Structure 1
Amino acid sequence: MSGGVPPPPSSTLLSFQHLTSAAIAITLAISGMVPIQHLAFIPLSFFYTLFLSKTAYPTLSTTLPPPIFAAHLRLLTAYVSVGAVVGLVLPVAYIVHGVLNDDTEGVKPAAPHLFLLACQVVMEGVTFAGGFSLPVRVFVPVAYNAVRMYAVFDWVKSEVVKGGGRWLSLANLVFWGFNLFGFLLPVYMPKAFKKYYDDVKDKDT
């Protein structure tokens, strides 16, 4: 589970977390619980990722660079684990509980966020396993996290009225809001772009 933060360099596309995320995404896609605009975002983001990798930010080396946060791997692992529980495990349990209790409509607002996060995990696996450049690997969590914020907002609004998963929706709003505005944009993105352009300069000299 990466949840919008860079997965460890040992991650592979066919790891358990990526296969599980793919299964979650497929199940939700065929369940009819995910709006068409979120379904359409997946192929659009995939092709735009390929476009960026071929034009603006090509891979500079076949060797993956060392992780940006190598000095803080324990903290990063804990952060990723919290994201996995808040963003994937608990929403899955919430939706399954609702379906088993004939409350599919009641838990439906949680599905778009879960679907997009599961797809994000798969896409991050693709970019890492495919050796994409750092800026392209940054694009995936930033783009998905930004789109998911709208889904989480809708989820929170529905839970204010219904109340069943209010605290879970609020926890996701806080965590992923911080992830986007407190980590990805001000910390991860600048470091990744600096590393990429430093490598460009080294390659040109």
Structure 2
Amino acid sequence: NPARTYSHPQIPRSLPHVPLSPPHSLNSHLPFPSSLLSRVKRRKEREKMSGGVGPTCSDISLPKEQESIHKEAWDPKQGGVGRRKAAAFLSLRQLNALAVVIIFSASGMVCAEDLAFVVFSIMYMYFISRVAFPRMGGAGDAAVFGPENRVLRLYVLFAAMIGLFLPIAYILEGFFEEDKEGIKAASPHVFLLASQVFMEGVAANDRFSTPIRVFVPVFYNSRRIFTLTEWLRDEFAKEDKEYSGSVRRLMVGRALAVANMALWSFNLFGFLLPVYLPRAFKRYYSLYKSKD
């Protein structure tokens, strides 16, 4: 068989010169929208006029700028949340409690010892919040019991009805029946309970730790046990004195005194000390150890 010969194509020594356009001329070949190109040109012109500093006030803010603004608005250290919480510092419940405190103080139905107790509680609360129980921050300073706890909400509503609303109605009725002894006996308890509600709203602020929030009800509840004891003694001593009121009012006053004594004794010795206080300290010191 004759040998087969293969012919190879000739490779040119030099490739043909293809002119390349500069990078800025690619805009004429790429399918960019004319509106986008015009916006880019206008922005470059504004940068030249401003000395190349950056976007002017008419430009859209950059994502990093928006992020910093958002953080400043919601960061308590930057003052954003702090301003909002300062505006809503006192709720309607705290304002009503403060009104009761002012009215009872101005009317002379409260002795100087109870007024001094409230002033001392404010000073001592701020003192131990700086020295003994500073705020740690984080989730550990949140409420021990969440607001979704339905049983606790019903318990608080029941306690407010027995301890605050009904005694206030009892005191108001005493003005019409001229029962000065009944008013004098029930007023210290109502004044201290209204002060406790107001101080609990103050302690609920983010500047105070969880033990401070526990300190307020324990401190006030312990003091009100003594005022309730005096209320009970005065109500049951009315038979020995000249009592000009009705028998119905006498029975209502005794029932309120007994009910409040039972309720707040259970609240102190059955809930605050054995349940609320240990949970609050456990949460606080667990956060303290985790930060160490």
Percent of residue pairs bearing the same amino acid type = 47
Listed as ranges, the matches of 1:175-190 within 5 Å are 175-190=263-278
Q: Give yes or no for contact 1:87–1:117 (8 Å, CA) kept in 2.
A: yes
The residue number in structure 2 matching 1:4 is none
Is 2:237 the counterpart of 1:161? yes
Counterpart of 1:80, as a letter, is: V
Q: 1:34 & 1:102 partners in 2: Cα distance?
A: 18
Pair 1:111 & 2:199 matched: no
Q: Is the 8 A contact 1:153 1:173 kept in 2?
A: yes
Unaligned runs of 5+ in 2: 1-87, 239-249
User: Could you tell me how far apart the structure 2 residues matched to 1:13 and 1:144 are?
Assistant: 21
Distance in 1 of aligned mates of 2:183 and 2:144? 37
Distance in 2 of aligned mates of 1:36 and 1:63: 40
Structure 2 letter corresponding to 1:55: V
AA aligned to 1:167 is A
Counterpart for residue 65 of structure 2: none
- Report the counterpart of residue 288 of structure 2 in structure 1: 200
Q: Aligned AA for 1:187?
A: V
Deviation at 1:127, TM superposition (A): 0.7
Q: Could you tell me how far apart the structure 2 residues matched to 1:126 and 1:66 are?
A: 15
The answer (yes or no) to whether the contact 2:140–2:283 under 8 Å persists in 1 is no
Residue 38 of structure 1 is matched in structure 2 by 114
Relative to structure 2, which stretch is displaced further, 46-55 or 59-68?
A: 59-68
2:258 maps to what in 1?
Answer: 170
Q: Could you tell me how far 1:14 is from its partner in structure 2?
A: 1.7
Cα deviation, 1:72-97, whole Å, max 9, x if unaligned, reads: 71000000001100111001000011
Q: Tell me, yes or no, if structure 1 residue 125 matches structure 2 residue 125.
A: no
The equivalent of 1:98 in structure 2 is 174
Unaligned runs of 5+ in 1: 1-11
Counterpart-to-counterpart distance in 1, 2:100 and 2:211:
27
Residue 60 (structure 1) aligned to one of 136, 139, 145: 136
The whole-number CA distance in structure 1 between the counterparts of 2:195 and 2:204 is: 14
> TM-score w.r.t. structure 1 length?
0.89
- Secondary structure of the 2:137 match is coil
* 1:69 to partner: Cα distance: 2.4
Following the alignment from structure 1 to structure 2, what is the Cα–Cα distance between the partners of residues 29 and 136?
A: 25
The 8 Å contact of residues 136 and 209 in structure 2, kept in 1 or not, is answered as: yes
Q: CA deviation at 1:99?
A: 1.2
Distance 2:283 2:290 in 1: 11
Instruction: Supply the RMSD in Å over aligned alpha carbons.
Output: 1.7
3-state SS, counterpart of residue 126 of structure 2: helix
TM-score (norm 2): 0.63
Which runs of at least 4 in structure 1 moved beyond 4 Å after TM superposition?
none
- 2:150 aligns to what? 74
**Matched residue, 1:9:** none
CA contact (8 A) 1:138 1:189 kept: yes
User: Equivalents in 1 of 2:103, 2:147: separation in Å?
Assistant: 38
| 8 A Cα contact 1:95 1:104, kept in partner | no
- If asked which structure has higher relative contact order (CA below 8 Å, sep 6+), I would say 1
Q: Distance in 1 between matches of 2:122 and 2:183?
A: 28
Q: Please give the secondary structure, in 1, of the residue aligned with 2:178.
A: coil
Q: Quote the Cα distance in structure 1 between the aligned partners of 2:182 and 2:196.
A: 24
Instruction: Look at both structures and tell me which one has the larger radius of gyration over its CA atoms.
Output: 2
In structure 1, C-alpha distance between the alignment counterparts of 2:170 and 2:206, rounded to whole Å: 33
State the AA in 2 paired with 1:139: F
Residue 31 of structure 1 deviates from its aligned partner by 1.5
For 1:113 and 1:62, how far apart are their aligned partners in 2?
36
